[in-house]
Amino acid sequence: MLILLAVGGFVGWRWLGPMTVEITHPIRGPAVRAVYATGTVEPTVMLPIAPRNTSRLVELKVDEGDRVREGQLLARLEDEDLRKSVDELEARARFAKTQFDRAQALLNRGLGTVLEQDRARSEWQAAEAVLARAQTLRSFMTLTAPADGQILQRDGEVGQLIPANQPVFYFSCCAPL
């Protein structure tokens, strides 16, 4: 038994004894610059594209990652009310123009007055101005690309009510990634 204990102690001392360690001294050498990371590559400039008026999104023409051309239609917002208003105002402007033409013809034949012609011209110009304003408001119901570029992000779904000035798209045209 004593012999077994001595042999076990010797084997344990050899196995658990001090390890041999090799020592090296530092030397100068080439360094490699590398960065490994996960994340998202984004441009330095992202332009939000948002409607000026609150309305429901009825059509999406592009999606994230799509390349677009300047003036290209990106999305349409509900504009039924404005379309009907424009139709009505076009009819009123046509009528005012007809009234002006009549007043001018009567004046030329000596049957009308300058006051009637001026009033008809004023009403026609006012009708044209109101029509132009309605057409401008209707044009705000489409979102178009401000320049050639790429759609980076889309934050709207068809049927969603989009508040005024809430971006539907984020766009990049000229900034490096």
Per residue in 103-116, pLDDT tens? 999 999 999 999 99
**Confidence at residue 17, expressed as pLDDT on a 0 to 100 scale:** 65
Question: What is the DSSP secondary-structure string of 149-167?
Answer: EEEEEE---TTPEEPTT--
Least confident of 15-29, 63-77, 91-105: 15-29
**Confidence at residue 175, expressed as pLDDT on a 0 to 100 scale:** 57
**Confidence at residue 25, expressed as pLDDT on a 0 to 100 scale:** 84
**Confidence at residue 3, expressed as pLDDT on a 0 to 100 scale:** 80
- Correct CATH for 47-172 of 3.30.70.270, 3.30.450.90, 3.40.50.720, 2.40.50.100: 2.40.50.100
Residues 6 or more apart from 92 whose CB is under 8 A from it? 127, 130, 131
Amino acid at 21: V
Does the pLDDT value for residue 8 go beyond 90? no
Domain map (residue ranges) of the chain? 47-172
**Confidence at residue 15, expressed as pLDDT on a 0 to 100 scale:** 66
